[in-house]
């Protein structure tokens, strides 16, 4: 008899007739215990498989900027190494995804693969609002990483970050998804939504590298860490990255709406909220209106408080940024605002944010 069987006393033993009947209970057995060493080894195997799957697609990106006049050790205007980061191949014909801040204003871009090959790359397009960029190398036989579905990612899920921190190529760290739905402020001032928070260690040079699931699928693009904190690292979700990468390959940029106003978030007086049945208790105070802009043509004035746009409430500037998508460019849309104590509905046509 196995030592894992649940043994019963003599008085509880079923008779032969009971054992043969369909009403008798099945014999209970306990599950074999897995040792800590075996569990650790299984964890290691998952990380190893994921890293080996994505590894050939991960690259180191070196960028060169023009030197300033009078800078020591080089002639004025000569490109010289000034930064590095990570990226990963996502098509066999040489398209590589990375962070915008890695290749921002680069005069020359060089890519080094895991097998040691080094190639020049050209910038295809960049999107500072999501901190994503696409570069391309002249090759048609590359092994791409496969995107996963970031929408099914859950807190606590195992993730692996691969990159080149401090110039050490192909470094692997592992952790878990700490939280979902975070927001980060891009250099442009817009919020990057749908950001994944993880405790998989990131360091300078990891930017642009893939955040990978246990199945070896890219579920995020590593973008930032909070330096004073321990284990607070962030990645742009793959659902955002796929959309932006497609737009950058097709158009070289992502189209967004532009109104031509400067504003600040302000609370709304309670009596105006009740009187006008406003959807939120705050809005956007228009500080200035650009000349010949969509806002000026629509009749927006300094001092107006924007409270709704295309039927959606505006609690602040970030709400307006989220709504100014390419689908709203060149379309007449309703905008509600409060001017003094009066609520007005104006028609505004967002322009392309070139």
Q: Which of 101, 150, 238, 282 is catalytic?
A: 101
| Residue among 225, 156, 234, 150 at smallest CA distance from 197 | 234
Name residue 254's beta-bridge partners.
none
Non-local CB neighbours of 123 within 8 Å, separated by 6+ positions: 103, 106, 109, 133, 134, 135
| Residue among 26, 86, 92 at smallest CA distance from 60 | 86
SS3 209: coil
- Any catalytic annotation for residue 104? no
Pairing status of strand 217-225 against strand 146-147: parallel
Q: Which of 84, 86, 150, 207 is catalytic?
A: 207
Burial of 319 (0-12, 13-18, 19+ CB in 10 A): buried
How many Cβ atoms sit within 10 Å of the Cβ of residue 265? 14
- Any catalytic annotation for residue 310? no
Please tell me the distance from the alpha carbon of residue 338 to that of residue 345, in angstroms, as a whole number.
Answer: 9
Q: Which of 62, 127, 131, 319 is catalytic?
A: 131
Please tell me the distance from the alpha carbon of residue 210 to that of residue 300, in angstroms, as a whole number.
Answer: 44
- Any catalytic annotation for residue 76? no
Active site residues per annotation: 101, 131, 207
């Amino acid at each position: 008899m196995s030592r894992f069987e649940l043994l019963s006393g003599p008085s509880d033993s079923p008779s032969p007739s009971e054992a043969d009947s369909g009403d008798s209970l099945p014999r209970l057995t306990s599950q074999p215990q897995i040792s800590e060493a075996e569990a650790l080894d299984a964890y290691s195997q998952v990380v190893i498989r994921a890293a080996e799957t994505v590894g050939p697609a991960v690259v180191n990106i070196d960028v060169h900027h023009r030197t300033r006049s009078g800078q020591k050790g080089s002639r004025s205007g000569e490109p010289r190494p000034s930064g590095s980061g990570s990226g990963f191949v996502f098509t066999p014909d040489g398209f590589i995804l990375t962070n915008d801040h890695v290749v921002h204003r680069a005069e020359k871009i060089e890519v080094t693969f895991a097998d040691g090959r080094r190639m020049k790359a050209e910038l295809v397009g960049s999107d500072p609002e999501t901190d994503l960029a696409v570069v391309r190398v002249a090759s048609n036989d590359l092994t791409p990483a496969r995107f996963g579905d970031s929408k099914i990612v859950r807190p606590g899920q195992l993730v692996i970050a691969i990159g080149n921190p401090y110039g050490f190529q192909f470094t692997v760290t592992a952790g878990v998804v700490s939280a979902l739905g975070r927001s980060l402020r891009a250099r442009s001032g817009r919020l990057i939504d749908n950001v994944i928070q993880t405790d998989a260690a990131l360091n300078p040079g990891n930017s642009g590298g893939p955040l990978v699931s246990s199945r070896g699928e890219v579920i995020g693009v590593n973008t930032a860490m909070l330096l004073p904190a321990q284990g607070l690292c962030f990645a742009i979700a793959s659902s955002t990255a796929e959309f932006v990468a497609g737009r950058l390959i097709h158009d070289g940029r992502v189209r967004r709406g532009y109104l031509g106003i400067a504003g600040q978030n302000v609370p709304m007086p309670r009596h105006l909220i009740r009187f006008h049945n406003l959807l939120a208790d705050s809005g956007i105070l228009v500080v200035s209106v650009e000349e010949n802009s969509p806002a000026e043509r629509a009749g927006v004035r300094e001092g107006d408080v924007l409270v709704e746009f295309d039927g959606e409430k505006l609690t602040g500037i970030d709400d307006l940024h989220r709504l100014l998508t390419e689908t709203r460019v060149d379309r007449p849309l309703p905008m509600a605002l409060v001017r003094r104590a009066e609520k007005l509905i104006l028609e505004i046509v967002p322009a392309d944010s070139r």
